[in-house]
Structures are given as structure tokens and as C-alpha cells.
A and B are shown apart, each in its own frame.
Chain A
Amino acid sequence: MDKRAAFRSWWLPSLFALPQIILILLFFYWPAVAVLRWAFTLEPPFGGAAEFVGFTNFQEVFADPLYWNSVGISLAFALCGTLATIFIGLVLALAVDRQLPGSAPFRFLYILPYAIAGPAAGMAFRFILSPERGLMASANAAFPDFWNPAKYGSHALILVIIVFAWKWAGYTFIFLLAGLQSVPRSLIEAAAMDGCGPIRRAVDIQIPLLAPTLFFLLVIMMTEGFVGADTYGIVARTTDGGPNHGTDVMVYRIVEEAFRGLNYSGASAQSLVLIGLIMIFTFIQFRFIERQVHYK
């Protein structure tokens, strides 16, 4: 049945669509065009005459070793964060999917962290994993400097990845649980009859059948890790990009450069590079990984 409503005039449907069109133009295309323009001009911080400078902004960005540092940090953050969230979400989903007695409340509990804002979670973890008073304090007492995100960039990076994984595992959990529940129960039973325990069943039957969901989450979480609002929020509230640019992920660097350094042009150029990188990653994922995930 055709459910489309047919309009006789052109202006009435246009009027209905107008609010949405205005919103998209205002909050999506206008900034995007502005970024594109700023990336190729020298934009004075307090407005006024912008000067076209061609690719100079890009040359400056690429010449900066700190920029390449932040690309590396971002890659590490997105990759580790993605793998950690998917792995944790998968383990939790597999456990809940067994529907053992008493597992029902966990379905709800595991999703909860997703409802908490990233910066708030980051703040909490700053205290929970604080080297002086937090969970790791006793380890530090035994082995001084065993854990100190304020001092070591690698520790700080681990800290923000933990916060990211803690929050987003609930999100992957939802998708993976839904995916697992669409695996026919009789397949699990057949595997049980064939002699598999729960872990073997997960590895041989459930995970291969989850491949489409896993691929979807890989793309979504990589993108989230690279440009997600949470990535900025977590880094800003937990480590402030430090120590010594140790957690200076690309989104954090862009915001800092634009609004603290007032270098709109450089930040815009970096934004464009980031968008380009995301497109390349997504293309690679679709081109080479998606092929492997269809089992029919």
C-alpha cells in the first residue's frame, strides 16, 4: 500500500519541510562551509578581513611535529578504545544471553554507564584511579610510580581509554545482545549436543554469526573514538591533553587550538584533515572488512 500523501501544491510540502531544512542549513552546512572557507584563509581571531592563503594553513599543520603526535595518539585511542568497548560489550552480552537465573537485572545495569556523560565519568575516574588516593594508591605504595597518569603520558592515555571503554561498553552491549538474541537458539543447542561448552560455542558459533554487528560497531566506535564529542569531553575533564601532549587527541587539539589558541584557520585545516582521515578509514573498513562478514 502506498502510504505517501500527495500534495497538489508545491508550497505546502515545502513549508512543512522548512523547519528541518533551516536546522540543517544553520547547524550543519553553514559551519561546514565556514570551516572550508577558514581552512584556506587567514582568519583574524576577532573577525574582520580574511585573507586567502591557499594551502599555507595545511603546510603549517603538517610541519608541526605536535600535530603528528596527536594523529598517533588519536589512532591509539580510537583503536584501543574501540577494541576494548567491543570486547567488554561482547563478554557481557554473551554472559547475559545465557539467561542464567538472576541475569535479568544485569541487562539493565550494563546499559546504565552509557547514560552518563563522558566528562562526568572522566571526572569520577580521575578520583577513582588517582595515584595518591584512588584504587591504585596501594600499588603505588608498594611500587612507587607504578601508576601515575599525571606524570606518564602512557598512563594518562590508558586512563582516558578506560573511561571511554567504561562508558561505551554499555552501548556495544545493547547491539551485541540484540545480535546474539537473533542467533537461533537451536544453533546453540545443536552446538551443545555436538559437545561444546559455553566458550567454544561463543567462539565457533555466536561470534561468527555476529560478524555483521561487530563490523557495524567497529565503524561506529572508530568514528566515535576519532571525532566523538565524548572523546573531547573525556580528555578535557580527565587529563587536559597532558601530560606533555600524552593524550592530545585530534579533536582535543582542534578545539584547544581554535578556542584557546584562537587559531581558527589552523583548527579548520585540521578538521578537514580529520574528516578526510575518517572517510579513508571508513572506506578501508567497508572495502576490506565488510567482505569477510557475510556468511551467506
Chain B
Amino acid sequence: MADITIRAVRKSYGKNPTLHGIDLAFASGEFVVILGPSGCGKSTLLRMIAGLEEITSGEIAINGKVVNRLEPRERGCAMVFQNYALYPHMTVAGNIGYALKVAGVPKAERLRRIEETAKIVGLSDYLDRKPAALSGGQRQRVAMARAIIREPNVFLFDEPLSNLDAKLRVTMRAEIRKLHQRLSATSIFVTHDQVEAMTLADKLVVMNKGVVEQVGQPLDIYHRPASIFVASFIGSPAMNLFDAAVDVDNACLTFGGTKMPIDRGLATRLGARQITVGIRPEQCAVAPEGVSLKVDFIEELGSGRVIHSELNGYPFAASVDEHTRVRPGDRITLELPLAHLHLFDRETGRRIEIDLAPRAIRSSASQPTLQAV
């Protein structure tokens, strides 16, 4: 159990800065997921916490103690690597127990703890095998066991599920979550998969290009993305984003030939400016009135379908239920409820904190059940 504080941490390789000042604080026992596209610096940040990467400037403290100058072994972290990093010349038992062997734990106790740990991850029958004789999922379990047996203060996961097939990934995801509930060590999990991030995290950190875009609970981030980047990165299918302008005189948002009336007071508060409007595909509803779109193609998901089309030159997706009769080439009319629109300043890319459908108006909205959080 340990809390982690990251203060103004920067990292440059030569003259190329990769992290531009990261400030984060993780509470003890929290399951933190760092999410971002490849190259955003999330793995670098994790490796700096582990002590595998030097910190160019700033401070990382574990349990209040600054660890910048400490060797990895002195930090009390255990790490699960993306490619598992199992020692190919050692058996499963050897791999799991290696940390204890290095620490000089007597053989009898070591064997006992190896067996205990192997039982937790379901590897008891494979202790004598070499990693090459294991399947991907089993290797993953060995990597986890190797981290668990050390009883670390902090678990670090570097995209541990990305080499597994889709089905196994879901299983292992659940197991990692269960394991965390059982051990309740502070865990930091790096991934580029937003589903993993949403399902695992107590606290979600979204990173892009070496900066933290947003920190918060997964649902908060889903419902109130702080920037265009976060909005486009979180959610599947991705949020629809299109450019629009605020027309203060007529109190409406204009995009293409469409005018969407908004409250006059809000229009004044927004001011005449260029914005990007976002709406999640699942919050567009087929309705008698709204924007008219031509269906390009349809993705069947079984439980529903996703209609792909184009709005004003921007790709636009809408999730509809399986009973909606629609074929490619058809025209459909979609309602974009004001309550579910996200507005972003196009220059800064940041969210405009304004509620387009305040409570009084929202009661008359077409979908009163789907209220924005």
C-alpha cells in the first residue's frame, strides 16, 4: 500500500521532450489507468515510476519518499511487461521465485510461496515447464505471479493485455480487477485500449503528446470529456465531432445548412465563435425531425447496429437498435438532443463548460430519460 505523487515531471531524450511536466497524485490502493495513443509518453511515465527510466526533471515520490535517485529494486514496485519478459531459461517456478531467490529467501519458504502464488493465478500444474511451452495466457499469468509473489507496494502494468487475443483479454481483465480487490496494492495500468481503461480504472488519466489531458473517474471523463482529444479517444464507436459556428443574433448553432436553435442567453454567453460540436453515436435518435443524412454503410453488432454516414463533410455514426429498418443509400433523420451535445473551443481544443439544455428546458427535450450527468 502506497500513495504516489508525481510533481512537474519532465522527460527529454536528448533535445526531444517527450513529457512536458506531469503532475499527478494517486491515493493508496487506487487502480489507476493511464490511457493514451502510442507515443504519448504513458509508458515512459510508468517506467520512470519503476526506476527504469531516468527523470529529466521533477519529482516522483512513493509513500512520501522521493525516489528519483533510487534503484528499481529499492522502490518496492513490481512490473508486468507488455511482452511478459519471462526468463526463457528458467522454469515457471524459477521465474516466479526469482525475486525471492535474489532476496535470499530460504529455499523451503520460497517453494511454499511459489506454490501459493501459482495457485492464485492457476498455474500449479505448470511449475516445471519452460515459458516456451506455455500459451500466451499462461505466460501472462506467470508474469503476474512474478509480480504478486513480491507483495509489492505498487503494481505497474505496461500494456500487459495487448498481446492476447480478444477473448483472453476480457478474461484477464476481469482477473486483474479481482486480483486488485484481493491485494489492494496501488496499481498503475498503462494501455491504449479505452475499453480496458473504462472497465478497470478507479481513476483514469488520459494522456496525449506528453501532457495529461484529463484526470478523473472513467464515467466522469466519458460524460464530460475535457478536450476534443479526450472526446474522440474515449467511447466506441467514437464520438461524432463536427465544426459549427455560434450565431448570436439568431440564437442558434449553424453547421452546413442546418441551424440548431439554442437559448438566447446561452448564445450570448458563448459569443460568436468557431466551435467543435460533439455527440456520442448512442445519443443520436431516429426522429421525425432533425438532421437528414444519407446512410453510407451499416455495421451489425448483433445487439444493435451502427449507421455510418456523413454530416457536413465529417464522418458521422449513430447507434440504433436492431429493429430499425434501414439500408445503405437510405436517408434518415436523426435528432441531436441539445442535452447531449458537447461543445469545444476550436482554437484551444478545450471543453466549453456550458449546459445547452438547463433543467427548465431539458424537461421538454425529446429524451428526458437520457440526461447528461
Query: Which residues of A sit under 8 angstroms from B150, Cβ to Cβ?
Result: 194
- Chain B residues near A191 (CB, 8 Å)? 87, 98
Q: Is the CB of A189 within 8 A of B103?
A: no
Bound-state Cα–Cα, A196 to B89, Å: 17
Give the residue of B83, B130, B146 whose beta carbon is less than 8 angstroms from that of A296. B130
Nearest opposing residue in chain B for A186, CB measure: B85
Verify if A209 is at the interface (C-beta below 8 Å from B). Answer: yes
Q: Mark A220-264, 1 if CB is under 8 A from B, else 0.
A: 000000000000000000000000000000000000000000000
Which residues in window 132-176 of B have CB below 8 A to A? 132, 146, 150
Place the interface of chain A in its size category.
10 to 19
* Contact between B130 and A184, CB atoms less than 8 A apart: no
Shortest CB-to-CB span from A192 to chain B, Å, is: 5
The reply to whether the CB of A205 lies closer than 8 angstroms to some CB of chain B is yes
B197 part of interface (Cβ distance < 8 Å): no
Q: How far is the CA of A284 from the CA of B100 in the complex (A)?
A: 37
- Report how far A259 CA is from B85 CA in the complex, Å: 58
Q: Are B85 and A184 in contact (CB under 8 A)?
A: yes
CA distance A47 to B286 in the complex (A): 107
From A187, A190, A197, A296, residue with most partner B Cβ within 10 Å: A190
A295 interface residue (CB < 8 Å to B) = yes
| Contact among A195, A204, A209, A296 for B73, CB-based, below 8 A | A195
Asked if residues A190 and B89 are in contact (CB atoms below 8 Å), the reply is no
Given contacts A193-B72, A195-B73, contact A295 B102 (CB under 8 A): no
Give the residues in chain B near A98, CB-CB below 8 Å: none
**Interface flags, B86-105, vs A, CB<8A=1, else 0:** 11110000000011001100
Given A200-B102, A296-B130, A296-B132, A192 and B71 contact (CB-CB distance below 8 Å): yes
- Residue B222, interface by CB 8 Å: no
Q: Is residue B79 within 8 Å, beta carbon to beta carbon, of the partner chain?
A: yes
A296 to B98, CA, bound (A): 18
Given A190-B86, A296-B132, list of 14 further CB < 8 A pairs?
A184-B85, A189-B85, A190-B79, A190-B85, A191-B87, A192-B51, A192-B71, A193-B72, A193-B79, A195-B99, A200-B102, A204-B102, A209-B88, A295-B130
Some 11 contacts from A to B, beta carbons below 8 A apart, are A189-B50, A189-B52, A189-B72, A191-B87, A193-B52, A193-B73, A194-B98, A194-B146, A194-B150, A195-B103, A197-B71
